Amino acid sequence: MTADASAAPRRAGRPLEMVLSRTRITAAALALITTEGYGGFTMSSLARTLKVAPSALYNHVSSKQEVLQWLEDHVMTMVDVSGFGSEPWDDAMRRWAWSYRDVFARHSPLVPLVAVLPVTGAPETLKMYETVAVGLAGAGVPVETIIPAIVAVESFIFGSALDANAPADIFDTGELADSSPTFTAAVLGQDRSTGERPADVAFQFGLEALLAAVPATRPGPDA
């Protein structure tokens, strides 16, 4: 209950900023993944970044899985919720959903982890949910619809984040074109005139469909 409960004891010869902590481990993990990718992220490489033996990490973290959960919660911080409270609810949702998808497209290995991450250990994630829930409630969406709406949009976002990493030729049927004429025609018949990436066209389509189904009764705080 002191004013600064998180202050670490300072010792001569080991400067304060060198003490391991959730914050510092998470920051190091993010930096490592940004430069080396998830393939280069191991407990060893993380320890090397922090100039510490790998075993030292286990004084602060119970597993690699936990580091990834910390990272996941930190990454949520990068999702843009600024529209809620300043834009009509649907524009706020669009801003949120697109940035959410983009963030996790860059961190797709974290996507399967979300299913196992309880909000209790993820305060930033909970903060985001609260902002979105306030936005929807303010738009007149009935209480019992808020969670299904959030979960549905979020599931769509996670699936779309994975899809955003698909190679451009994923649907090229090649020599199997003859056995799948209708699908092949659909692939070739896509509208390429706008120059948008196919993953973005699909995301736009699905997002608008989901937003149209949200039973809001008011346009939002400022509209």
Identify whether the C-beta of residue 43 lies closer than 8 Å to the C-beta of residue 84.
no
62 binds a copy of itself (CB under 8 A): no
Class of residue 203 by CB neighbours under 10 A (exposed 0-12, middle 13-18, buried 19+) = buried
Identify whether the C-beta of residue 160 lies closer than 8 Å to the C-beta of residue 205.
no
27 binds DNA (CB under 7 A): no
74-133 binders of a copy of itself (CB under 8 A): 108-109, 111-112, 114-120, 123, 126-127, 129-130, 132-133
Gap between the Cα atoms of 8 and 17, Å rounded: 9
Tell me which residue of 179, 180, 181, 202 sits closest to 190, measured CA to CA: 202
Q: Which residues contact 89 (CB under 8 A, 6 or more apart)?
A: 135, 136, 138, 139, 216, 218, 219, 220
Beta bridge partners of 14: 11
158 binds a copy of itself (CB under 8 A): yes
When binding is defined by CB under 7 A, the residue of 48, 60, 94, 106 that contacts DNA is 60
Which residue number, 36 or 172, has a Cβ lying nearer to DNA? 36
19 binds DNA (CB under 7 A): yes
Which residue number, 61 or 141, has a Cβ lying nearer to DNA? 61
63 binds a copy of itself (CB under 8 A): no
183 binds, among a copy of itself, DNA, none (CB under 5 to 8 A by kind): a copy of itself
113 binds DNA (CB under 7 A): no
65 binds DNA (CB under 7 A): yes
Q: Which residues bind DNA (CB under 7 A)?
A: 8, 19-20, 41-45, 52-56, 58-60, 62-65
